[in-house]
Chains A and B, each alone.
Chain A
């Protein structure tokens, strides 16, 4: 099958957390439980039999209640989690925004963190050097460039994180409920940036509890419930069905 047009290809993926009923983290406990025969693992399927084909340039919103498996699905696509069964293939460069500023080191200055975070996203130092000005410009944090991140407010940290991650036009952008950060003006700026990227051909995978945001940004939507796909298709239809279900 020709897969050239695909950005993400998930086939019957299942994610299993083989979690101990209470996590055993010391050798002594492990042996005590082993001897007592209490070493039971509770299987928990965070995602079951998920199949999803995302074409290049498409925008998908993932919706569902808390614990439905939305973030797990994003982590699966990012490669943070490996599928227990099934396959996940990603074609193109990824920029995961699962949490803004996850790669920041609080003791280092904003400038140092820009380079560190860029490196985490797989960019070279020279590349970051040429984009430094744009990043600083977009985040509007020029005067705080040499201040350690630990003295930043959460909004400022998020600004910096968003600026770094979206500075480079990734082929696939993964966004997990992060646009609620920052002040109103900055939120608008983020939306504008994401719309720009979308029209530039970036594939967007977006998790949000704001149905309005999903409708505004995404053409397609996927509704997850307890790790299974309930419905997928046009975002307006899926969102409507989802609202119907949850309100009545």
Chain B
């Protein structure tokens, strides 16, 4: 208990650093580009258009409001990819600072995931535009979109902490992770409906793929306007808690040894 209070006090002391780092990431991301923040909206939009052209001609899935279906999956998966990829480099990329001064190290990882979250919220503008344009019926359930995003945020913080500490000791993790994410994308129903899969695989994905839980909840709220079933919530929150526990545990256990390896 004493440690928790100490921890909270320490975080409050560095809360300004945390927000500065988030702002820095966002500012630097588009600095000197012509369209700036607009890219956060345009990028998912263009990717969605390409996928829409490809998949509505090559494969014919019978999905209503296909562009919105695509965009919902793609935005959440894109957030996870961006957050974890920048988390992996968060400790290794801050060596200069970590060697010279004392800062709680998790701040770097946390700020990376959070700046990805800000980016996700900007991408939501693209989603809103497409949703209105396509004519998805508007319901009050759309407002529950925030729940899957929150769950996913905590999931990514946990996963990010785990990857950040791991990559300090095994740098290969950065490259392996790229492969894992690609594989992960194909077993997540982003551009196909889960019903095209064999029964046993569907069950497996529903239980073992956390991204399915988050994307399904997200689609329930935005696309279908229905409340998600309890199973999805249990899976989503459960995965987030497991990941947070694994991430924090491994990070705290190893953080004092970072300095010897960076």
Q: Write the residues of chain A forming the contact surface with B, with a CB cutoff of 8 angstroms.
A: 17-19, 23, 25-28, 30, 75, 78-82, 94, 96, 98-99, 102-103, 105, 107-108, 112, 115-116, 118-125
A80 touches B259 (CB 8 A): yes
B14 touches A103 (CB 8 A): no
List of 6 A-B pairs having minimum Cβ-Cβ separation, nearest first: A102-B100, A119-B17, A79-B102, A119-B16, A26-B172, A119-B20
A-side contacts of B98, CB under 8 Å? 80
A17 and B27 CA atoms in complex are apart in Å by 38
A80 touches B99 (CB 8 A): yes
Q: Least Cβ distance of B30 to chain A in Å?
A: 12
Of B31, B101, B261, which one neighbours A102 at CB under 8 angstroms? B101
A18 and B254 CA atoms in complex are apart in Å by 14
Known: A105-B24, A108-B28, A119-B20. A99 touches B100 (CB 8 A): yes
B20 touches A116 (CB 8 A): yes
Which label, helix, strand, loop or mixed, suits the secondary structure of the B interface? Answer: helix
* Interface 0/1 of B17-33, CB less than 8 Å to A: 10011001001100100
Across the two chains, which residue of chain A brings its CB closest to B98? Answer: A80
A85 and B60 CA atoms in complex are apart in Å by 66
A17 and B164 CA atoms in complex are apart in Å by 21
Q: Least Cβ distance of B8 to chain A in Å?
A: 15
B-side contacts of A30, CB under 8 Å? 170
A122 touches B14 (CB 8 A): yes
Q: Least Cβ distance of A151 to chain B in Å?
A: 14
Of B13, B17, B101, B169, most A-chain CB atoms within 10 Å: B101
Known: A119-B16, A124-B16, A125-B16. A96 touches B102 (CB 8 A): yes
B-side contacts of A79, CB under 8 Å? 102
B170 touches A27 (CB 8 A): yes
A168 and B139 CA atoms in complex are apart in Å by 54
Q: Least Cβ distance of B88 to chain A in Å?
A: 14
B-side contacts of A28, CB under 8 Å? 172
Of A18, A94, A118, A119, most B-chain CB atoms within 10 Å: A119
A26 touches B31 (CB 8 A): no
A98 touches B100 (CB 8 A): yes
B-side contacts of A119, CB under 8 Å? 14, 16-17, 20
Across the two chains, which residue of chain A brings its CB closest to B17? Answer: A119
A27 touches B100 (CB 8 A): no
Q: At the interface, yes or no: B199 with Cβ under 8 Å from chain A?
A: no
Q: Least Cβ distance of B179 to chain A in Å?
A: 13
A27 and B176 CA atoms in complex are apart in Å by 11
Known: A17-B260, A25-B170. A123 touches B16 (CB 8 A): yes
A172 and B58 CA atoms in complex are apart in Å by 68
Q: Least Cβ distance of A147 to chain B in Å?
A: 14
Of B21, B28, B103, most A-chain CB atoms within 10 Å: B103
A-side contacts of B101, CB under 8 Å? 78, 80, 96, 98, 102-103, 120-121
B256 touches A82 (CB 8 A): yes
* Interface 0/1 of B95-108, CB less than 8 Å to A: 01111111100000
B172 touches A112 (CB 8 A): no
A42 and B21 CA atoms in complex are apart in Å by 37
A-side contacts of B170, CB under 8 Å? 25-27, 30
A108 and B32 CA atoms in complex are apart in Å by 12
Known: A119-B14, A122-B13, A124-B16. A103 touches B97 (CB 8 A): yes
Across the two chains, which residue of chain A brings its CB closest to B14? Answer: A122
Within 8 A of A (CB), among B33-53: none
B24 touches A108 (CB 8 A): yes
